[in-house]
Structure 1
């Protein structure tokens, strides 16, 4: 069988064999490493290699019991095998000399010298750490005595400080080979060798748990090959661990070590379980269950710990975990450190564990949102309605779930608590929390109805009443035109500040930010969201980023996105839907369609997992828009279809974006009249809409082109007017100013306005807007008979579109230029990216493939690329599909093969 992962060890041993075989030089090779690390396998492989080179080889092995037999390992090496180094007569001569060590060494040396005169010799002694005194004397003395003869000594020892590793005399060269754990790729290869297939996920988890120890790896694989259930340690291994435990008078310290799951000191163990003594530790170490690293104790291998842990009775396990949780809290650790033990100790109705989990969730909400959500739901599910802590635990659960954007779960828990709430104040507090969650998932009408009901109850405090009014004002920003919602939002902020209620102020500031965005006052909106971030941490970072994008400040938006992903605590909000959506819009607006689609796929997954239908809808819109820009109209319709059939969000929130996409799709597909019928009502209701789409640069061009194609001048005038209002509300923002000029020029075929628009949009970071303006100016120049200038401008538009992958716009430009009698060689050489193979990978996918093949985890790759681990996973799935691979190992092989051929 192939020896996996030890090529370096073999390479280090081979020079000694070659020197002996070719030049008659002696040498020593010592292989060191912990038990089970594969020393014996390396010795066997070296011995086999030596035999192939013509060596006469003898192999011996020391053992702990055999220490009472003087010289046994050396004598065994001399008489082992079918062709022993010493013949029967020579061995008989040695049998009676063990009591005369110096004579014995002299005779052995003389015999080996004669053998070495006919062929090079290899003497192998395994487990030399157990060798008796006579054997150790022989192994120290004989190499020097036989210097100058082709004799190589090969020893294996667990002890890196063994005296056998000391340098011999100058005439004998010493090579020390320290074996470490096998690499992950080598473990995977061993699994394929022994199982005939790649390891399953369950098997891989066990293999990961033994730290690359070859003995434990092969124990697991041989057990599986022999029919053991997948994911379960082999019976022989389990029985060995159980036997070691049974040999201990008191196994408490080992069981505690299994529950702690980390290195610990004896004094810490005694604080958790006072009965643990130093003698118990010594016995556990002697039995090979625990090992020492300085003053700390731990298991030698994770699989041993897992086996001990699996053998614990439920009651013993819960008792030890509860003791560990209490110890951590008593010794100054926070609830997050104690939470794993509280989880494991928890039983139904366990208020102590629930309190720990709740506090841990609160601590984790800012930096570990997924963990926070899981912890707080577990805490709520532990307590029972009859218990005193049930209501406050539920309220805290709703709060944390809202903070980590698990809004559907927040509403579910809120309803459960409200059904049993007995006082108006508690109900009102929970309704505020539910209202925020309902707003985020696009159900503002339900939010208003709940709040109105809560406001009718007597006895609500002034601060809480201000909070309810602020929550209602926020909901109205998604229900009513800006002019109407402003009448509720501005007084809510005044009241909140007057009563100095923090939560009310935050809700009212958010409402003001949303109101300003929905009315197209983006600088004002940014100011409110920045004030929110100042008082609330990072909770509104995504909103601030979106406003920076709308103000053409993409570099500032990118800096905030990168900072979120670089954060040392694990990304803060980087894994939340809002930040993923902000990154997606950043990529889409900058024309990075491949990256935007990857973000959209990630967002769809997250949205479905946490019930965030609004962000899922955002993703669908970007999916469909990307397909439209590439000219894949059928795919755009297919991507849009599921969102149009229904959804959990209110229609007033959900439908405007979908109708916009349906109209754009109809226009792109040549169905101008259908587009006019879809888009007309949207445009003429834009000023009274609660949506923010009219104040995103770019949309109005679709309306103008549809109006011109159908002869609907009223549609054209309204779109030009709204674009001009957007520019007036966002003075100095190139996207708004340039689009307004371009649409005015397009509507009136005004070349001066189109020329000025192109000058302004040269400062705009949105490539599609620059391409649109260049295309429109080029078309008008052709219409004015200025062919050369028009074709030059259309060429510029084509190049901009090509840089983004907007193939539909490229094709449209080509058609116009062909009608004008122009041909370009680059049209023929340009081709769409293939769907399979390396050429199909996007730039981002190539980076991910290279990092993963270099051994990085998803999390490490995400950190290096300023992406979320979810997005890296999305890229990786796409890479697997395009390269037709199904594992990281196969990907690594594919990358290496490409480099060799490239």
Structure 2
């Protein structure tokens, strides 16, 4: 061999892994766990070129060597609009396949695709893992579609106890945040055994080892020093060696390799253009053209674009492969690295790149690609007036909206830009854009676009579509949303389905506004929808009727409607605005009925859909309903953490209905917890709502907050004054706290004899006793209210018995307490003491400090000593002290340490100490992680509902 002739570089696939001893030790542990029948998750994280794919391959090889089976796939950019593409590739493309390919693909016609796909995959993977431990490897998971990310999170949680090793790679930074958050949440929550391998640059010794492995020789300092300039990135080390080899700058002598000269090779300094210039013209053209195609492309596509037969490309493809630009990927080709693809694309003039991308989109569509696959190329390359591109982008947006509403909105916005001055087309696109922006929770953009559109001359149908979309805005108060629906009623020449949908949305906004007339309006909508095929809007109208039925005392009717809705959930398009609103209202009715398990299950399923589609507002609304369930179930700490940030919003007079929900429930939680500071804050916020609330129901509930605070202080005169004269205490829509308010009013009437309080309690009783037979919770509350008003032991005992089987422990405990007081007044001291002790036990079990202390004082009169011993958890939200929790809440809202110190009148040092304790107890290291944990904290199951942090003695 000549002195300056480089040796043949060793095939990269057989090279050892260098500089990753720690990571390999973790992988060995996980593989051993898998061989022992235990599952795990490993996320390999790092920048491009750091060696993620190589480590993933090594993990797979070690799994197979230990008797496991490898299922692998790579997520790609061009498949981001195809739901579950990498998961299907890993499972259905395996040999033998894991899962029923026909069944899973058939689910593509089901609107609520995600839930059923996850369920089918879970069953198939579990069955396969029972036969052979599995490793499921997804490379470049940061490129996966939102549906895949959500499915992975759900599957990893559901199969945590199965012998499945989930191995994922992702780039660091924001692009990999979704998959990173999912893995970290599962690990932090104790759901699964998870390892996060953040790959650092390899050290200089490892870099030198890579050089030695590639060259098949020991190396001297000259090569080691050059390799060090790659900053520990294995890919760049390899690129460096290829560049030196091309420059003929590697010298071999005496079994040792050295570099000729200290300069970097031209490959690393010049440009990809120079590298392409070294190729044959045909190869150069092929590589440049390939750079504008999807990440993985076929020879057929290349041939069509080059107007050649595939056989004519053999030489050029071979040269590109030998030049390490392209590699084979199963039956397709791709660039060896994204950096190469990007560099090659940038060698093309902008105008030529756009023209080629536009042409490639047409070819892809002609070859059978779906619009979602070519949407990115069309969006980049089409010119204004390209109506064919507009049609394809509209189709892509409609399909993508089921998986990623924000991405679909971006595509639709681009279609609008390309539509030019075609009036009818622009009007239709404007309506579609407003709807998609609202579904994507991009409300400001939607409002601005709608305002511009409505200020012009629109066809009636387009105006109606825009106004119906505006009636869905959760950032508006119900009466303002209903105004849009009423405007639609005056428009001529509308499609029947538009009128029916508008009628259903009008009914729902009237219901949220507290108008019982929403019932007839919803029934009229149902009559119109009976002649149409719109299951989602029909369900919206049904749940509106259910809410009205409940508020007027017909709980069994409301419950039956919800059962019907849940039974038909497979047909319900939960990703549509009407479908998601319907499921929220159904959950809200179930929560008010005391069917908390059903409400929680309904929330969980639909939250997964909303999360997959990145509907942040919908997720927040569902979290609010879940927090309502938490409060009703006696999970006071969780409810407090979820509701507390909204008090500041209400106090700033920039609030919506959801904030009033939070205020009402938080005020009740504060009294249960005996949190005087929180009671003061909620009362202050409630005074503003009671004076200027935008709806009657908001003002009524704000007054109930003030009544409860006055009752807590023992100020019965103020409590009666706050009660007001006219508004009903069971407003539409009913919330779980409304029954607590009904009981409080009856207590107030019994304690004071006040005529107004008696009248309110009597009106409430009329509603609660209207149906016969009654829904269980309504029956229990009716017995409770009647027992208080009539001081009837039998009625209160009946209430205790009925509420003991309900999912409302705080109401049950309150009924026990009041029954005990009535028995005491009847001189039944033993029975009274026993009943009060039962109340004390329930209060203590749920951390209701204020109620437990009050009951303990009553027991003291009987000579019975009961006390509560705080057994605070060591970790988690329940472990935080009140001071730590207040600091955490403000930090979650975005306050800095000095701002927290000022608002809580603490020293910065004290705030810092509290925050350190919060980080330690929640297992986080930063404000960002704290906010993330607050957003994804796990919800309680029935088995955890009795945990409290208090022990009764």
**TM-score in terms of structure 2 length:** 0.58
The alpha carbon displacement at 1:459 in A equals 5.3
1:830 and 2:864 are equivalent in the alignment: no
What per-residue deviation string (whole Å, max 9, x for no partner) do you get for residues 862-883 of structure 1? Answer: xxxxxxxxxxxxxx99767844
Q: State whether residues 565 and 571 of structure 1, in contact with CA within 8 Å, keep that contact through their aligned partners in structure 2.
A: no
Deviations 1:296-319 (A, max 9, x none): 322333444455456665434434
1:551 to 2:586 alignment: no
- Pick from 464, 479, 488 the counterpart of residue 445 of structure 1: 479
> How far 1:753 sits from its partner (Å)?
1.8
- Report the counterpart of residue 751 of structure 1 in structure 2: 793
- Structure 1 pair 386–606 and aligned structure 2 pair: CA distance change class (3 A): farther
**8 Å Cα contact 1:564-1:573 kept in structure 2:** no
Pair 1:800-2:842 in alignment: yes
1:772 aligns with 2:808: no
SS in 2 for 1:477: helix
Q: Offset at 1:658? A: 3.4
CA deviation vs aligned residue, 1:673-729 (integer Å, no higher than 9, x gap): 333322334xx3217955435994332112223334544254145325414522443
Once residues 387 and 588 of structure 1 are traced to their aligned partners in structure 2, the CA distance between those partners, rounded to angstroms, is: 52
- Counterpart in the other structure of 2:828: 786
Q: Within the alignment, does 1:580 sit opposite 2:623 as a pair?
A: yes
Helix, strand or coil at the partner of 1:697:
helix
Q: CA deviation at 1:738?
A: 1.4
1:183/1:525 CA distance change after superposition, 3 Å: closer
Decide which of 455, 462, 465 is 1:419's aligned counterpart. 455
Q: CA deviation at 1:263?
A: 2.6
Contact preservation (8 Å) 1:664, 1:702? yes
Tell me which of 9, 20, 43 is aligned to 1:5.
20
**Partner residue, 1:290:** 326
User: Which residue of the other structure, out of 721, 724, 739, is the alignment partner of 1:677?
Assistant: 721
3-state SS of the aligned residue for 1:298? Answer: strand
Any idea what the Cα deviations from partners look like across 1:741-793, whole Å, max 9, x if unmatched? Answer: 12222333322222221111111112111121122222333333434433332
Counterpart mapping for 1:331-410 below 5 A:
331-345=367-381, 352-377=388-413, 379-380=415-416, 383=419, 388-401=424-437, 410=446
1:245 & 1:648 partners in 2: Cα distance? 70
Q: 1:620 to 1:837 in 2, by over 3 A?
A: closer
Picking from 273, 278, 282, the partner of 2:314 is 278
Q: Which residues in structure 2 correspond to 1:16-95 (within 5 Å)? A: none
Question: How far 1:522 moved relative to its partner?
Answer: 3.7
SS state at 1:389 partner: helix
1:555-589 Cα deviation digits (max 9, x unpaired): 33344344446779948989644433333333332
Matches within 5 A, 1:104-183: none
Give the secondary structure class of the aligned counterpart of 1:297: strand
Q: Deviations over 1:567-621 (max 9, x none)?
A: 79948989644433333333332222344455558999999xxx99433443444
CA-CA distance at 1:394 after TM superposition: 0.9
Deviation at 1:294, TM superposition (A): 4.0
Match of 2:708 in 1: 664
Partners in 2 of 1:624 and 1:475 — Cα distance? 26
CA 1:7–1:409 in 2, change beyond 3 Å: closer, same or farther? closer
C-alpha change, 1:877 and 1:818, in structure 2 (3 Å) is closer
Answer whether contact 2:787 2:793 (CA < 8 A) is retained. Answer: yes
| Distance change (3 Å), C-alpha of 1:305 and 1:777 | farther
Please name the residue that 1:699 is paired with: 741
Distance 2:18 2:815 in 1: 65
**Cα distance change of structure 1 residues 807 and 274 upon mapping to structure 2, 3 Å threshold:** farther
Partner of 1:203: none
Question: What is the CA deviation profile of residues 194-221 of structure 1, one whole-angstrom value per residue up to 9, with x for unaligned ones?
Answer: 9xxxxxxxxxxxxxxx9x964549999x
1:264 and 2:300 are equivalent in the alignment:
no
Provide the C-alpha distance between the structure 1 equivalents of 2:605 and 2:462, rounded to a whole number of angstroms: 38
Equivalent residue in structure 1 for 2:552, among 485, 505, 519? 519
The structure that has the greater radius of gyration is 1
Corresponding residue number in structure 1 for 2:584: 542
Deviations 1:313-334 (A, max 9, x none): 5434434443444344333333
1:396, distance to aligned residue in structure 2 (A): 1.8
Match of 2:210 in 1: none
Q: CA deviation at 1:5?
A: 2.2
Instruction: State whether residues 383 and 390 of structure 1, in contact with CA within 8 Å, keep that contact through their aligned partners in structure 2.
Output: yes
Could you report, residue by residue, the CA deviation over 1:370-419 in whole angstroms, capped at 9, with x for unpaired residues? 44445445544665566552101012223444556666654543333222
Aligned to 1:631: 674
Displacement, 1:355? 4.0
Q: 1:546 to 1:462 in 2, by over 3 A?
A: closer
Relative contact order (alpha carbons < 8 A, sep ≥ 6): 1 or 2 greater? Answer: 2
| In 1, Cα distance between equivalents of 2:51 and 2:881 | 40
The 1:654/1:290 distance shift into structure 2, 3 A limit, reads farther
Q: Distance in 2 between matches of 1:372 and 1:191?
A: 40
Work out the CA distance in 1 between the residues paired with 2:288 and 2:714: 73
Q: Secondary structure at the match of 2:327?
A: strand
Are 1:589 and 2:632 an aligned pair? yes
The match for 2:925 among 865, 881, 885 is 885
Distance 2:233 2:422 in 1: 51
State how far apart, in whole Å, the 2-side matches of 1:623 and 1:236 are: 64
Q: Give the total of aligned pairs.
A: 661
Checking the alignment, whether the CA contact within 8 Å between 1:4 and 1:189 is kept in structure 2 is no
Could you list the runs of 5+ residues in structure 2 that have no partner in the other structure?
1-16, 28-47, 56-167, 173-195, 206-229, 241-264, 886-915, 932-953
Consecutive unaligned residues of structure 1, counting only runs of 5 or more, are: 13-33, 42-179, 195-209, 221-233, 846-875, 892-902
Moved more, 456-465 or 551-560: 456-465
2:559, 2:593 within 8 Å by CA — same for their partners in 1?
Answer: no
Structure 1 residues 245, 672: CA separation in 2 closer, same or farther (over 3 Å shift)? farther
User: Quick one: distance in 2 between partners of 1:687 and 1:362?
Assistant: 44
Return the alpha-carbon distance in structure 2 between the equivalents of residues 367 and 39 of structure 1: 27
Residues 1:890 and 1:519: Cα distance change in structure 2 (over 3 Å): closer
- Counterparts of 2:487 and 2:607 in 1: how far apart (Å)? 41
> d(CA) in 1 for partners of 2:921 and 2:705?
28
CA deviations on 1:73-94 (whole Å, 9 max, x unpaired) are xxxxxxxxxxxxxxxxxxxxxx
